Amino acid sequence: MRTAALLTTLLSAAATAAEIESTFIAEHLKDPMELTVAPDGDVYVVEREGRVLRLRPSTGGIFEIGKIEVTALRSNDPDSPYAREDGILGITLDPGFATNHRLYIYYSHPKELMNRLSRFELKDGVLDLASEKVLIDIPTERRDRVCHHGGSLTFGPDGLLFLSTGDNTNPFESDGYAPIDDREGREHANAMRSAGNTNDLRGKILRIRPTEDGYEIPEGNLFPKGTAKTRPEIYVMGCRNPFRMSVDPKTKVIYWGEVGPDAGKDSEKGPRGHDEVNQAKGPGNFGWPFVIANNKPYPIVDFNTGKPGVMTDPAAPKNPSTHTTGLKDLPPATSAFIWYPYAKSEEFPVMGEGGRNAMAGPVFYYDANRKYNLLGKEDDHTLLSYEWSRGKIFKAKLGESEKLASLEVLMSDLVHPMDFEMAADGTMWLLEYGTEWWFNTNGRVRRLLPADGNKAPVITAAREGESFTATASDPDGGDVTIEWWLTQGAHETKLGTGPALAVSTAGGTELRAVAKDAKGATTVARIALVEEQTGPALQLELADKDAKRGFGEEIAFTVKGQADPAKTVVRARYIPPTGHDAGGPQFTADIEKLVISKQCFACHQIEKASVGPAYLDVAMKYRTDEGALERLRAKLKTGGAGVWGEVPMPPQVAVNDGEGETIVKSILGLSSGMAETRGSAQGMLKLSAQPEGVQGGGAWEIIAEAPGYRAARTRIGAK
């Protein structure tokens, strides 16, 4: 039996008397990057590795309408230093989409070192790859762990198209301060060549007017057309990683989130890192890599000696790089609208503390004639910004001259919110990326509406051969109708109505039972008709599998498949006879609550590596190290990098000493009853010593894993 796939909850809005009804329209998305909403209510989503999806909320349909070949990090080589943040980066619909069926996609070219902005058309609801019209190619680098591609796309009310681009720079080789390494061969670590370069399209927000044959340069960009050593497409320069932006539909002011550097404290190399929510009332320079936050300047560091030199003047910044092709004298730097570090912000304490990934959503205007208003009349003219790491949406009330009047939390406990848009009828659409940094399969789309007191129907569906049944009810006691929809490729067919269905579903991939109540609220139950292909699987063979094994004994294993033996891990986990923990290593409920509250799962998972190592890997690495507890407690306070890769762990300023000790002890405790061997597809695995208080019996679960392959699991008896 499959239960309802659409879950509806009521989330209290911190700064409004109304409640917000949140419904999951789509789940199990794979690294979803950006969404856009069509006039007919359909929602279009792009995924990092190339899929383009159409969601139909009225029927629950999720359709793959195309796939673009891209360069992207792949699961079979997750530690590659190449193309760390490449893929499909953004999507938006043409203002005339209802009639011309055109959309714009920004993606990493599969063969050339460039990111490409192209226009496509839909034909019969499918992305026509042959219709591609290239607008802009932006040369880019992908080696040496360069990051930051931006990629947000949006149209303003005047039909001008905005594209955000990142500084395309390695952020890990400058200690979390400005990456301005001007030495030869270090271009990948030098944002002066990109974000600080007036003649380069990286680290910018571009503003163009699409035409049939390409695009035109509108009046009012930062550099007039024909200005030497500049690009006329540039509207905003000095951006690090402008990630998700919006345009105020009335004032045309642009808002975007700027993901900042990682330094945890001020030093002679410059100020500590900040994230920013920025506001551009017109063209301008927002300073990176020479200033940050409210125009805090960086010195020009000599990377040969590590010594700081001339301090940047925010009123008259200069680009001294030998690798810039643009102007040496730059426009004055513009202060951020909102800025905050890892620690609690003195200026904006409501932002909280911890990990940082700033984003900017729509500007809300109250309209009594619109179908939905998520907020009240008192929130007219409010920017809705959001935080990917902290899982929150904020209300930034705008006052006279677009100045910030107040800042409050609207929603919390979101799962890496990635994009946020408002439809013409007032419906809000929130894209959640998923729990990890790469290779998610739990991304989802939420629909946010003002709660009207009506509870959505409940439905379950089941299959017996070629017969299907559904059971639905209305929590409010009203009547419920049931419709059956079949997904066939990029389209759907209505097969019937009522609680039972007995027709052929040949050629279909998913059957949906859609329950609707008298007020139009719907819930969907899904039945998969084909098994999803998830890649090749490993095979694990054990010597004398039927024999029970005791603590400390050895067992011979062979892992079969095409995986690289050097990247293969074989683990054994003891399961007591009670069956406790049979689903895998886990924290207790109180520890899990603590870890969630401190945002630890933003960068870590228990068994899978994310941007940080898996907690189980940490536990196994230090399982015999008696000094690990104290060293790891200290590292929580100071931060660090290098043990698990170049991505730094910032100081965990939100974790006090007692909480830090509790968390580290719980992480290290995951190794209890565990054993592993790495780097071989054949050999001997020595089982763990007997944990304290364990009497024996139960079972051993043996697991073989390798990047890009489905794990092999088997169980044997324990003495």
Residue 112 has pLDDT above 90, yes or no: yes
Structural domain that includes position 464: 460-528
Amino acid found at 31? D
**442 and 500 together in one domain:** no
Handedness of CA 356, 362, 364, 368 (dihedral sign): negative
Instruction: Tell me what the mean pLDDT of segment 490-497 comes to.
Output: 96
- For 444-481, the pLDDT digits (tens) are 999 999 998 899 999 999 999 889 999 999 999 999 99
Amino acid found at 676? E
Q: How far is CA 718 from the centre of its chain?
A: 41
211 vs 647: which has the higher pLDDT:
211
**510 and 553 together in one domain:** no
State the pLDDT at residue 582.
56
The proportion of the chain whose per-residue pLDDT surpasses 90, expressed as a percent, equals 76
Residue 256 has pLDDT above 60, yes or no: yes
Amino acid found at 29? L
State the pLDDT at residue 667.
87
**Does residue 27 form part of some domain?**
yes
State the pLDDT at residue 122.
98
Strand arrangement, sheet containing 569-575: 674-678, 569-575, 699-705, 712-717
Rounded to an integer, what distance in angstroms lies between the CA atom of residue 595 and that of residue 545? 38
**579 and 670 together in one domain:** yes
- For 347-396, the pLDDT digits (tens) are 999 999 989 999 999 999 999 999 999 999 999 999 999 999 999 999 99
State the pLDDT at residue 332.
99
**Does residue 361 form part of some domain?**
yes
**602 and 464 together in one domain:** no
Residue 260 has pLDDT above 60, yes or no: yes
5 vs 18: which has the higher pLDDT:
18
Using alpha carbons, select from 574, 506, 571, 519 the residue that is nearest to residue 542: 571
177 vs 8: which has the higher pLDDT:
177
Residue 131 has pLDDT above 60, yes or no: yes
Which DSSP state fits 160?
A: -
**Encoding tokens for residue 366?**
């109250």
Determine if residue 239 is labeled as part of a ligand binding site. no
- For 527-574, the pLDDT digits (tens) are 999 987 777 899 999 998 889 999 999 999 999 999 999 999 999 999
**Does residue 455 form part of some domain?**
no
State the pLDDT at residue 497.
97
Number of domains observed in the structure of the chain: 3
Rounded to an integer, what distance in angstroms lies between the CA atom of residue 269 and that of residue 298? 7
Task: Please list, in sequence order, all residues whose beta carbon lies within 8 angstroms of the beta carbon of residue 587, skipping any fewer than 6 positions away.
Answer: 595, 606, 666
**Does residue 291 form part of some domain?**
yes
Using alpha carbons, select from 484, 478, 384 the residue that is nearest to residue 426: 384
Would you tell me how many other CB atoms lie within 10 Å of the CB of residue 99? 8
Instruction: Tell me what the mean pLDDT of segment 315-334 comes to.
Output: 98
Using alpha carbons, select from 456, 455, 454, 458 the residue that is nearest to residue 472: 458
**438 and 470 together in one domain:** no
**Does residue 250 form part of some domain?**
yes
**Minimum mean pLDDT among 78-87, 257-266, 497-506: which range?**
78-87
**Does residue 699 form part of some domain?**
yes
The dihedral region occupied by 304, where left means phi > 0, alpha psi between -120 and 50, and beta the remainder, is alpha
Single pTM value for the model: 0.88
9 vs 482: which has the higher pLDDT:
482
- For 220-250, the pLDDT digits (tens) are 999 999 999 999 999 999 999 999 999 999 9
Using alpha carbons, select from 167, 185, 146 the residue that is nearest to residue 304: 185
Residue 51: C-alpha distances to residues 269, 486, 527, 536, 634 (Å):
42, 21, 22, 20, 43
3-class state of residue 350 by DSSP: helix
The residue with tokens 């700033």 is 358
What CATH number does the domain containing 475 carry?
Answer: 2.60.40
- For 522-535, the pLDDT digits (tens) are 999 999 999 877 77
Residue 579 has pLDDT above 80, yes or no: no
Q: Determine the number of helices (DSSP H) and then strands (DSSP E) in the chain.
A: 5, 46
- For 583-642, the pLDDT digits (tens) are 678 888 788 888 877 778 778 888 777 778 888 888 888 888 888 888 888 888 787 777
**208 and 300 together in one domain:** yes
**139 and 55 together in one domain:** yes
Backbone angles phi, psi at 667, to 5 degrees: -65, -50
Determine if residue 604 is labeled as part of a ligand binding site. yes
State the pLDDT at residue 606.
82
Rounded to an integer, what distance in angstroms lies between the CA atom of residue 356 and that of residue 261? 9
Task: Please list, in sequence order, all residues whose beta carbon lies within 8 angstroms of the beta carbon of residue 79, skipping any fewer than 6 positions away.
Answer: 645, 707
Rounded to an integer, what distance in angstroms lies between the CA atom of residue 485 and that of residue 493? 6
**95 and 232 together in one domain:** yes
**Does residue 1 form part of some domain?**
no
Residue 17 has pLDDT above 50, yes or no: no
Would you tell me how many other CB atoms lie within 10 Å of the CB of residue 188? 18
**Minimum mean pLDDT among 29-33, 38-42, 356-360, 715-719: which range?**
715-719
Rounded to an integer, what distance in angstroms lies between the CA atom of residue 174 and that of residue 261? 10
**218 and 276 together in one domain:** yes
State the pLDDT at residue 516.
96
State the pLDDT at residue 643.
80
Instruction: Tell me what the mean pLDDT of segment 437-450 comes to.
Output: 94
Handedness of CA 442, 68, 153, 358 (dihedral sign): positive
- Give the number of C-alpha atoms closer than 13 A to the C-alpha of residue 618, restricted to the C-beta side: 26
Task: Please list, in sequence order, all residues whose beta carbon lies within 8 angstroms of the beta carbon of residue 246, skipping any fewer than 6 positions away.
Answer: 154, 254, 255, 256, 360, 361, 362, 363, 421
Burial 421-431 (b: 16+ CB within 10 A, else e): bbbeebbbbbb
**Encoding tokens for residue 553?**
């004994």
**418 and 472 together in one domain:** no
What CATH number does the domain containing 565 carry?
Answer: 1.10.760.10
Residue 207 has pLDDT above 90, yes or no: yes
Average pLDDT of the chain to the nearest whole number: 92
Residue 670: C-alpha distances to residues 114, 465, 582, 622, 651 (Å):
43, 43, 14, 11, 23
Determine if residue 649 is labeled as part of a ligand binding site. yes
**489 and 430 together in one domain:** no
The dihedral region occupied by 261, where left means phi > 0, alpha psi between -120 and 50, and beta the remainder, is beta
List, as one string, the DSSP characters of 397-424.
EE-GGG-EEEEEEEE---S-EEEEEE-T
- Give the number of C-alpha atoms closer than 13 A to the C-alpha of residue 306, restricted to the C-beta side: 4
Residue 127 has pLDDT above 90, yes or no: yes
Backbone angles phi, psi at 444, to 5 degrees: -155, 165
**564 and 487 together in one domain:** no
What CATH number does the domain containing 68 carry?
Answer: 2.120.10.30
Which DSSP state fits 188?
A: G
State the pLDDT at residue 581.
58
Choosing from 450, 468, 484, the residue where a domain stops is 450
CB-based burial label for 474 (10 Å; 0-12, 13-18, 19+) = buried
State the pLDDT at residue 12.
37
Rounded to an integer, what distance in angstroms lies between the CA atom of residue 317 and that of residue 312? 6
**Does residue 3 form part of some domain?**
no
Burial 84-98 (b: 16+ CB within 10 A, else e): bbbbbbbbbbbbebe
